[in-house]
Structure 1
Amino acid sequence: MKWMKIGLLIVAGLLITACTSQEDIEQSFPMSMEVEEFSAVNQDGEAVTLEDIEGDIWIADFIFTNCDTVCLPMTANMSQLQKKLKDSGLEKEVKLISFSIDPEHDTPEALTEYSQRYDADLNQWSFLTGYSQEEIELFANRSFNTPAAKAEGSNQFVHGTSFYLVSENGTVLKQYEGVSDPPFEEIISDIKKLN
């Protein structure tokens, strides 16, 4: 009888712990938006869809290679995040995805050249293009609740400057500052909570 009570207490303790950690996870991740299906090509010209990265945690952002303002520090910061993920032993757990919002100009060749400026490890980090302007604008708006539109009378684009944490099942969980002082340690801590 005594062992049965001890067993019940252990089971009850495990259940309480499970509930608490689930609650902690929900508090850590305030967003919950499903990423829509997409069809793209990466810097190597290889097809990439949402299904291809299903099962991976990923960090996404929106950039374009002719950007003369925020994309430069954003991409430098993503490169720094990639190094920090490696230092934390998480490089195999997490993909980095940069969606170009200028698919007409950003060919796979242009994206390859751009990625080399930032020492991107393309085994982990993909630069995507190959969709229409309208498709990427709708995708950014609907899947990430962020703007992506060509600035009138300019070769520049209006777009969000956040990094987005996406779960293995394609749910956007959280966004972080991507331009000035990204919270690298918070991002890594959040990724660990999902492992």
Structure 2
Amino acid sequence: MVSLMTVLVVLAGCGQEIEEPLNWEVESFEYMNQEEEMVSLEDLKGNVWMADFVFTSCETVCPPMTYNMTKLNEALEEEGVENVQFVSFSVDPEVDTPEKMREFMSGYDLANADWNFLSGYSQEEIETFAQESFKALVRKPDEGTQVDHGTYFYLVDQEGKIMKAYSGFQNVPIDDIVNDIKILQKS
């Protein structure tokens, strides 16, 4: 009887899946990173990746979000989870040059991870892309330097589907994200 229970427990663990996956398709893109290299959806396919929307001159949520992404990377390293890419889409592309993105990134330990900070598109393009692919608000008001944007982290699978969205600003569920990444990497 004990051996039957052991087999059932092992089998139950093998069939883990992401709970209530979003299954949103990321539309094809090709944008420039901080090193002035083009990065496309096709380049990311085959890997699990985390995405967010930030900008370098953000005075509110972006620094804590980027710090939280750094903490997520540290948790992944502690768990021995490899081959996770990080992608930040600039919501202020006309200001965020490769130089400004590199300067912003240098303030975070995440800069040593596989992290692409993308720009090189129009404001209208990122607003449409964020809404259509990530169901995320991005809006640059006519006045001021700050951009309105969502504060979620998005887990994207190896095929370019958004599986989950998590709080990226406060109460970030790092353990849940790490577990979901492990599930995706096993599938």
Q: TM-score, normalised by structure 2?
A: 0.88
Could you say which residue in structure 1 is the equivalent of 2:3? Answer: none
CA deviation vs aligned residue, 1:50-71 (integer Å, no higher than 9, x gap): 0011101000000001111111
Could you say which residue in structure 1 is the equivalent of 2:66? Answer: 75
CA deviation vs aligned residue, 1:30-61 (integer Å, no higher than 9, x gap): 31100001111111111101001110100000
Q: How far apart, in 2, do the equivalents of 1:155 and 1:29 lie?
A: 37
Contact 2:73 2:113 (C-alpha < 8 Å) held by counterparts: no
Q: How far apart, in 2, do the equivalents of 1:36 and 1:122 lie?
A: 27
Letter in 2 for 1:177: S
Q: How far apart, in 2, do the equivalents of 1:88 and 1:112 lie?
A: 28
The reply to whether residue 88 of structure 1 matches residue 76 of structure 2 is no
1:1-195 aligned within 5 A = 21=15, 24-25=16-17, 28-90=19-81, 92-195=82-185
Aligned partner of residue 94 in structure 2, secondary structure: coil
Query: CA 1:182/1:96 → structure 2, altered by over 3 Å: closer, same or farther?
Result: same
My pick for the range that moved more, 81-90 or 117-126, is 117-126
Aligned partner of residue 174 in structure 1, secondary structure: strand
Task: Provide runs of 4+ in structure 1 moved above 4 Å.
Answer: none
Q: How far apart, in 2, do the equivalents of 1:151 and 1:80 lie?
A: 31
Aligned partner of residue 111 in structure 2, secondary structure: coil
Percent identical across equivalent pairs? 46
Q: How far apart, in 2, do the equivalents of 1:192 and 1:120 lie?
A: 19
Q: How far apart, in 1, do the equivalents of 2:106 and 2:44 lie?
A: 23
Aligned partner of residue 121 in structure 1, secondary structure: helix
Aligned partner of residue 139 in structure 2, secondary structure: strand
Q: How far apart, in 2, do the equivalents of 1:41 and 1:82 lie?
A: 23
My pick for the range that moved more, 111-120 or 168-177, is 111-120
Structure with larger Rg = 1
Letter in 2 for 1:172: I
C-alpha deviation, 1:93, in angstroms: 2.2
Supply the RMSD in Å over aligned alpha carbons.
1.8
Say how many residue pairs are matched.
176
Q: TM-score, normalised by structure 1?
A: 0.85
Aligned partner of residue 117 in structure 1, secondary structure: coil
Q: How far apart, in 1, do the equivalents of 2:128 and 2:174 lie?
A: 28
Structure 1: state its 5+ residue gaps. 1-12
